[in-house]
Chain A
Amino acid sequence: MTSTNAKQERSLTSSDAKQERSYNNIHKYTLDGDYFVVDPASGAVHVADKTAFDFLDKVKPSIFERYEGIPGGCYSELYALYKRGLLFGDDNCREHAKTSIDAPLKALCLHVSHDCNLRCGYCFAKDGTYGGERQTMPPETAIAAIDFLVKNSGERTELEADFFGGEPLMAWETVTAAVDYARANESRWGKRFRFTVTTNGLLLDDDKIAYINANMSNCVLSLDGRKAVNDKIRPTPNGGGSFDLVTDKFKRLVQSRSKTDSNFKDWYIRGTFTAYNLDFTEDVIELSRLGFRNISLEPVTGDEALPYAIKHEHLPQIYEQYERLYRMIKAGESDINFFHFNVDLEGGACVIRRLRGCGCGNDYLAVTPDATVYPCHRFVGFPEWEMGSIKQETPPQKMKDEIKAYFTETHIYSKRDCPDCWARFYCSGGCNASSNERFNDCRITDSKSVECLMMKKRLECAIALNALKIANKC
């Protein structure tokens, strides 16, 4: 990593906070000899030369307000951007935090199975059980959940349900019942459904692959990369590895998906990296070698005391890996579509959406096999977060007013470290459940946490790649 001040940037626990606040509303960094300037409040992104980049250390709004500069000079270029609101721009988005208060329901995470046929070492869901009994959602509950979603979706036309677990293919009858019911009625309801399934692949067969490719707008296929890496942390219940059991099935799904006559083409391999494979670029390369182009490789989260947890001391190596991936993609050495380097600089989500991100507890909810509603899958199993049941004839707004109100008022301006963070409109304040797990409060964010620092590094790479594409430099 190279940046404004190399020594500061190497100080992993304090550099970002110092940088964000010392430059008021802009964030500047360098990557592989290119100079980038982000103006978070306006959404502007600039590619600078070293002269302008260094000049930005010396100027600030109060100087621009007093001095126009000499036309044609570096200062005057910066001055013009300032006057256009593209440098040190004012954040005028706070007023939009009041919108979406009564947002109708848009998406459900359907926990069709609280059971799993793998025993992944890092599973936040406790082998799929979420700390409860192993159980499967009955088909009639899934159908009731679809009705619940439609009934409480107001004038929304685009609705979503994702099949989650545990391992959702263990509840295949429930999955197909819900999809078939929605497809049979969506025109009559004036709605359109998008379905997603997240699977470990063990139970995939040709019939399921054909059904998924015909009906799921997205599918998330869990595989961690190299066989040794995957099998160490994703074993079967008898301790065997899962890599050989699922890889060919995923290949068949992906190959046939591209040939399926449907609009549903999205998919990606979703892996996790841990302290055991800090050289995770090798896992991305292995997944690419296996023929998987769409790759999402996530850092594991959880208590830092756990042996696989990522700690601050690992960050230099992780930054190095993200930069290695950045160089590979920038140089065209790989055609992988690395999920975390995707950022839409020109046509992304509106600022209203960016204030809250996922919308959990508000327009996005999770439903368990016994029909209990939670703000999202990460809150399942915690009684204090129960919002009611879809079996009650009560809309979600009325189920637990205080929980919905809490999440509608949880946004980047109400989170501790977010209001002046340069990344706020990109990450939307991160995961509420993660904050709750760590601080028992969804509104406490820590800009120095491993999670935030990795997020910002990924965003720097993503913004740089896309900025250079627009500037026709790669």
Chain B
Amino acid sequence: MNNQNQNTHIKTVTGATLKETAEKGGCGKCRASCQSACKTSCTVANQPCER
């Protein structure tokens, strides 16, 4: 986020996070979620990592 945020035309607010999560991920400690509308239509995107 550092160098590119000296940019004047495009600011990166979050960098390449997905690849990093793959290296440490898959522990299964995060909460279950349900994408069904009859529950919460919860997307995994709003589930925090709890590792």
Report which A residues bind B (CB closer than 8 A): 37, 41-49, 51-52, 55, 74, 77-78, 80-81, 84-86, 89, 92-93, 96, 99-100, 103-104, 106-107, 124-125, 156-158, 160, 162, 194, 198, 220, 270, 272, 296, 298-301, 339-340, 342-354, 357-359, 363-364, 376-378, 425-428, 430-434, 451, 455, 459, 462, 467, 470-471
Partner of A340, one of B29, B30, B38, B41: B41
B33 in contact with A357 (CB, 8 Å):
yes
* Whole-angstrom distance between the Cβ of A105 and the nearest chain B Cβ: 10
CB distance from B27 to the nearest CB of A (A): 8
One of A55, A80, A272, A348 near B44 (C-beta < 8 A): A348
CA of A99 to CA of B24, assembled, Å: 13
Q: Kindly state the interface size class of chain B when it binds its partner.
A: 35 or more
Ordered by A's residue number, 20 sampled pairs between the chains whose C-beta atoms are within 8 Å are A42-B17, A44-B16, A49-B10, A52-B10, A77-B9, A81-B10, A93-B22, A96-B22, A162-B32, A339-B40, A344-B47, A345-B14, A348-B17, A349-B44, A349-B48, A350-B24, A351-B19, A354-B44, A427-B43, A455-B43
Q: Are B46 and A358 in touch, CB under 8 angstroms?
A: no
CB distance from B24 to the nearest CB of A (A): 7
User: A46 near B10 (CB under 8 angstroms)?
Assistant: yes
- Whether A298 pairs with B26 at a CB distance below 8 angstroms is no
Q: Which chain A positions have C-beta within 8 A of B39?
A: 198, 220, 377
Contact A364 B16 (CB under 8 A): no
User: What residues of chain B lie closer than 8 Å to A272, measured between beta carbons?
Assistant: 37
Rounded to whole Å, the gap between the CB of A44 and the closest CB of chain B is 6
Q: Across the interface, name the chain A residue whose C-beta is closest to B7.
A: A77
Contact of B25 with A353 in the complex, beta carbons under 8 Å = yes
A344 pairs with B19, CB closer than 8 A: no
B29 — which chain A residues lie within 8 A by C-beta? 156-158
Q: Could you tell me the distance between the alpha carbons of A54 and B8 in the complex, rounded to whole angstroms? A: 15
**Given A93-B18, A352-B21, A353-B26, list of 14 further CB < 8 A pairs?**
A41-B18, A45-B14, A52-B9, A100-B26, A106-B28, A158-B28, A160-B31, A299-B37, A351-B19, A377-B36, A426-B43, A427-B44, A428-B43, A459-B45
